[in-house]
Amino acid sequence: MNKMIKVLWFEDEYEKMDNFLIQARGENLELVPFRSAEEGIEELQKNYSHYDAVIMDAKFFLSREHEAGSEELSALAKTKAALDALSSKKKFEVFVFTGQAKLFQDSSFDMFVPKYYKKGVEEDVHNLIADIKKSANNQIDTQIRHKFQRVFDVCSEKYIGEKAGHDLLDILKNQDSMDSKKYLNVIRNIIEDLFKAFHKFELLPSEFISGTIDLNPTCRFLIGTAENGFKLDEEARLPKIIGHNLWSLLNHSQTGSHRSHIDEHINTLASTFLFNALTFKLLDVLIWFKDYVDKGPMKKKWKNGVSNSNREEKGFVKYIDEKNRGLIVLNDTREEIILSGKLIEQYRLKARDKVVVFSSEYIENIADVLHKRMNKIQKI
């Protein structure tokens, strides 16, 4: 798999430089050209994490309202100043690639740009490409994106969006951070982007992503339970391991009373292992998603008008202890439901029994916590 280096290029005449574009592409450099300092700086400020290097002509247009003949050396100075201002977030080495012959003997230009590369000089072109690759490969961002290239391939507008790529890079650069609250929230944001992508590919009804996305019902729908009057056909449901991972990510990343215990656990233990485990679960889900949609799954494979007031979920009795208390584990979500002695006796349950749980959910007004109420249990 080719590891591309993405380069932002300030050049007002890039259309006349097809040979250089082809040569760069052959060396795994993706050049993204902008004619003016204004346009290129805007792109860098917004998407600096997407780029590995910057090339500038000595003279190019200062503003987007450019006219032929209005190229200025001040555009170079303005762009260098913008890169300096950006250096607290990401540092870029400046590569000046120019054909301005009259500047080659200008001592003041040499002081301002001590190293530059001449257009049309094959040795300079070769050195430019080699130096860009060397510089880019020393960038932490580039190293991470190359190491996890399959995941970052999902973070494009075709799939879950470039913003998700910026968030993902932030997570991977801070795997040793103890700021669990911040980065677990970022994981949740990426899951929201993922659900929007499910809708974009017509794998999720629009009712689930209108306004604020309610993550738990959306995940349960994709796993296969009835939500908001919709139920996904069995062949379109998430594979079990993906469903388990996604449900685990939501349980650990959403704010609320449950999340406060997780934040406390991470801070008390002074370990990032849980956070890193969740990060790699997320990467696995994202790679699966791209593979899934690339295979062209059937669209809109759901039924409408399905009641979810009494949900049916298969599971099994995990154990019953000596005090006649037990636990049911649901097959799809791996959710655990406590069994009282009354229910065990009523349905004559024993460990390892396979069951169907008929349940509904309700909100406890005081704590605003979602609970599951078992209406009926049936052995199978």
Type of residue at 229: G
Strands 302-304 and 230-232: antiparallel
What one-character DSSP code corresponds to residue 349?
-
Measure the CA–CA gap between 235 and 219, rounded to whole angstroms: 16
Q: Tens-of-pLDDT digits for all 380 residues of the chain?
A: 578 999 999 999 999 999 999 999 999 999 999 999 999 999 999 999 899 999 999 888 988 887 665 566 788 889 999 999 999 889 998 899 988 756 656 666 666 676 889 998 999 999 999 999 999 999 999 999 999 999 999 999 999 999 999 999 999 998 887 777 788 899 999 999 999 999 999 999 999 998 889 899 999 999 988 888 898 998 999 998 999 999 999 988 886 545 677 878 877 888 889 889 999 999 999 999 999 999 999 999 999 987 656 678 899 999 999 999 999 999 987 888 888 888 899 999 999 999 999 876 543 433 333 456 677 899 99
**Residue 375 is part of a domain; what is its CATH number?**
2.40.50.140
Same domain, 179 and 65: no
Domain boundary among 128, 145, 162: 145
Domain boundary among 145, 160, 187: 145
- Sheet of 354-364, strands arranged across: 336-339, 326-330, 311-320, 354-364, 369-379
Same domain, 228 and 343: no
Helix (H, G, I), strand (E, B) or coil at 371: strand
Q: Print the domain residue range for 83.
A: 5-145
Same domain, 124 and 172: no
pTM score over 0.75: no
Q: Which two tokens stand for residue 190?
A: 């990426």
Q: Which two tokens stand for residue 65?
A: 């309202």
Measure the CA–CA gap between 198 and 209, rounded to whole angstroms: 10
Q: Which residues contact 92 (CB under 8 A, 6 or more apart)?
A: 51, 53, 54, 83, 86
Domain boundary among 126, 145, 164: 145
In 3D space, the residue among 94, 25, 17 whose CA is nearest the CA of residue 58 turns out to be: 94
Same domain, 263 and 200: yes
Same domain, 117 and 156: no
Same domain, 152 and 255: yes
Helix (H, G, I), strand (E, B) or coil at 230: strand
Same domain, 13 and 42: yes
Same domain, 169 and 124: no
Q: How far is CA 372 from the centre of its chain?
A: 31
How many structural domains is the chain composed of?
Answer: 3
Is there a contact between 326 and 339 (Cβ–Cβ < 8 Å)?
yes
Is there a contact between 343 and 327 (Cβ–Cβ < 8 Å)?
no
Same domain, 100 and 228: no
Residue 350's CB is within 10 A of a number of other CB atoms, namely 12
Same domain, 273 and 206: yes
Cα-Cα-Cα-Cα torsion 213, 219, 222, 226, nearest 10 degrees, comes to -90
